[in-house]
Amino acid sequence: MTSILILNGPNLNLLGTRQPDVYGRTTLSDIEAMCRAKAAAMSVALAFAQSNSEGAMVDMIHAAKGTHDGIILNAGAYTHTSIALMDAVSSVELPVVELHLSNIHAREEFRHTSYIARVAVGVICGFGAHGYELALEAMAAHLEASA
């Protein structure tokens, strides 16, 4: 069975509790439940994780090799700063879909740069929590096409 890791970065554990104008009222637990339902309907195994620590995220990306077939990565603010996460993605040679709730290109200039995009199969942003379902579909289609 195809297995996908959804990895969420810093501050995403606060979703639904602050800045609802930017990030909506859906909590990360709500998103996880939605993703689990979607993955079950697609007959895909799913792991869902969140960390506020860059190093822990690097470790989880390394551990995905041999365990999961692809990674959906909302790296939060590390998207715009982390060469370490970019290198981790390159090193595991697993397909990565970069994901953001907000449209990072319609926001501050510093959010327009993504180190992850350089090593990702593709990027989904601006669709809020629904983007997680879109990313699952995109990853499953990518894995099927490259099988």
Quick one: which of 39, 57, 60, 101 contacts ligand CA2 (CB under 6 A)?
Answer: 101
- 5, 6, 7, 12: which one contacts ligand CA2 (CB under 6 A)? 12
Q: How far is residue 36's CA from residue 104's CA, in Å, rounded to a whole number?
A: 26
The whole-angstrom separation of Cα 68 and Cα 63 is 9
Token pair recorded at residue 39: 């993955």
Look up 105 and say whether it is catalytic.
no
- Separation between Cα atoms, residue 110 and residue 107, nearest integer Å: 8
CA distance 15 to 30: 10
For this structure, is 23 an active site residue?
yes
Catalytic residue among 68, 100, 115, 132: 100
Q: Please, which residue, 76 or 95, has the CB nearer to ligand CA2?
A: 76
Helix runs in the chain, H state only? 20-23, 28-41, 54-64, 83-92, 130-145
40 touches ligand CA2 (CB under 6 A)? no
- Give the separation between CA 66 and CA 39, rounded to whole angstroms: 19
Cβ 26 to ligand CA2, closest distance in Å? 10
Of 48, 76, 95, 123, the one binding ligand CA2 (CB under 6 A) is 76
Q: CB of 77: closest distance to ligand CA2 in angstroms? A: 4
Buried b (16+ CB within 10 A) or exposed e, 41-63: ebebebbbebbeebeebbebbee
49 interacts with ligand CA2 by CB under 6 A:
no
When binding is defined by CB under 6 A, the residue of 73, 89, 104, 139 that contacts ligand CA2 is 104
Which residues contribute to the site for ligand CA2 (CB under 6 A)?
Answer: 11-12, 14-15, 18-19, 23, 74, 76-77, 79, 100-102, 104, 111
Q: Which residues are catalytic?
A: 23, 100
